Amino acid sequence: GQQVMQIPQYQHVQEGEDFTTYCNSSTTLSNIQWYKQRPGGHPVFLIQLVKSGEVKKQKRLTFQFGEAKKNSSLHITATQTTDVGTYFCALDSNYQLIWGAGTKLIIKP
């Protein structure tokens, strides 16, 4: 079945630095969703991308879907403490989500 690989597993940044997480697949993705899970919390839907080359922005968050629809990225500009958590990408396949492993954003003290 389809798999979604996500890297890195962790990213440590100073507050104010940027953060990026990447999702990749060996096959074409019909869509990609992004979720955020705060420590001790539950996943919260951020966005869904469906079009080749799509770029969407939500304040400091920029989401991209590759031209070949085999990769996607989430970029956060100037991280803040409220950004801390684990970011997951997921493929919606017939209403089942195929999840990436997640990238944990850690703000260095």
Partner 1 sequence: DTEVTQTPKHLVMGMTNKKSLKCEQHMGHRAMYWYKQKAKKPPELMFVYSYEKLSINESVPSRFSPECPNSSLLNLHLHALQPEDSALYLCASSQGREQFFGPGTRLTVL
Question: Which stretches of the chain bind partner 1, using CB under 8 A?
Answer: 33, 41-45, 48, 88, 90, 92, 95-97, 99-102, 104
Q: Which lies closer to partner 1 via its Cβ, residue 16 or residue 96? A: 96
The pair phi, psi for residue 81, each rounded to 5°, is -60, -25
Strand partners, 65: 72
Strands 10-13 vs 103-107: parallel, antiparallel or unpaired: parallel
Least Å distance between CB 78 and partner 1?
26
Least Å distance between CB 16 and partner 1?
26
Q: Which lies closer to partner 1 via its Cβ, residue 19 or residue 34? A: 34
Cite the beta strand spans of 1-107 per DSSP E.
5-7, 10-13, 19-24, 32-37, 43-49, 55-58, 61-65, 71-76, 85-93, 96-99, 103-107
Q: Which lies closer to partner 1 via its Cβ, residue 52 or residue 96? A: 96
Least Å distance between CB 32 and partner 1?
12
